[in-house]
Amino acid sequence: MSAPLRTIGVIGGSGIQNLGGAVLATHRVSTPWGAPSAAIEERRIGELRVLFLPRHGVGHTIPPHRVNYRANIDALVQLGTERIITASSVGSLQAELPPGTFVVPNQFLDFTHQRPTTFFDGGRVVHLGMADPFCPELTRHAVAAGQEMSILVRENATYVCIEGPRFSTRAESRFYRTLADIIGMTLVPEITLARERGLCYLCLATVTDFDVWQETPVQAEEVVRVMRANTDRALQLLGKMIPRLAPAPTCACAAALRGAEI
């Protein structure tokens, strides 16, 4: 009897609406935190069971500050997910990261202020270690997949997550630029919740604009134009990376809660 396939989750952000290929099943999952953003589509890619969830819902109807991040992560865990890869559109805070660049950050700053950020709201007191929040193994696979395709995937970057849905003021953008490399609205609390569930987590970020520090106001229509231009490349990169994940993880992400509970 063959062993069950390993399961990974892919959370698609702006522009990444599906991974292509046949949908083998559609899962509608209920959680203690309500419904996830949409039904979860199951596919098979290589030797993996892949679960796809559009972060902003079907048709991109849920703004970043209203995404039910707890329900999304919990639903994927209920379906057996061990690793999560997310695709996100971000702004660049540095001249050397122009629109069209792929970035896999290794650190983040949290400037959100009204989102539920944990599964542990009472009954258990957990102080989660987040010194190195992204999975190093997934990062290596993303960079290697990019090299195979002659696509530069920048690493060792810091992502600053803001509340949204508005873009930054000029003063805010100049301030964030002193702290981080890219800016977005969806990383937090998604990454924290994934760590609380012992999941490997990677953010594949695509730069769509230079934010407003470069003195040109960010226009949503321009972000969408660049995002659409990069969608095919992002899907190709995911398609190259995902089959590499068939072996069991060798990182320490699954042990994230060890020693964290008071």
Contact between residue 230 and residue 100 where contact means Cβ atoms under 8 Å apart: yes
Q: At what angle do helices 136-148 and 220-241 cross, to 10 degrees?
A: 90
Strands (DSSP E) contained in the chain are: 6-12, 25-27, 40-45, 48-54, 83-92, 102-103, 107-111, 153-154, 158-162, 182-184, 200-209
Out of 121, 132, 211, 232, which one is annotated catalytic? 211
Strand partners, 205: 88, 103
Q: Which of 74, 110, 181, 209 is catalytic?
A: 209
| Tokens 């540095």, located at residue | 94
Query: How many whole angstroms separate alpha carbon 223 and alpha carbon 208?
Result: 5
Contact (CB, 8 A) for 109 and 37 = no
**35, 49, 260 from 27: Cα distances, Å:** 12, 13, 32
Asked if residue 66 lies in contact with residue 105, where contact means CB atoms within 8 angstroms, the answer is no
H-type alpha helices, the chain: 69-78, 136-148, 170-177, 190-196, 220-241
Q: Is 209 a catalytic residue?
A: yes
Reply yes or no on whether 232 is catalytic.
Answer: no
In angstroms, the CA 247 to CA 186 distance is: 28
- d(CA 237, CA 206) in angstroms, rounded, equals 11
Name the residues annotated as catalytic.
209, 211
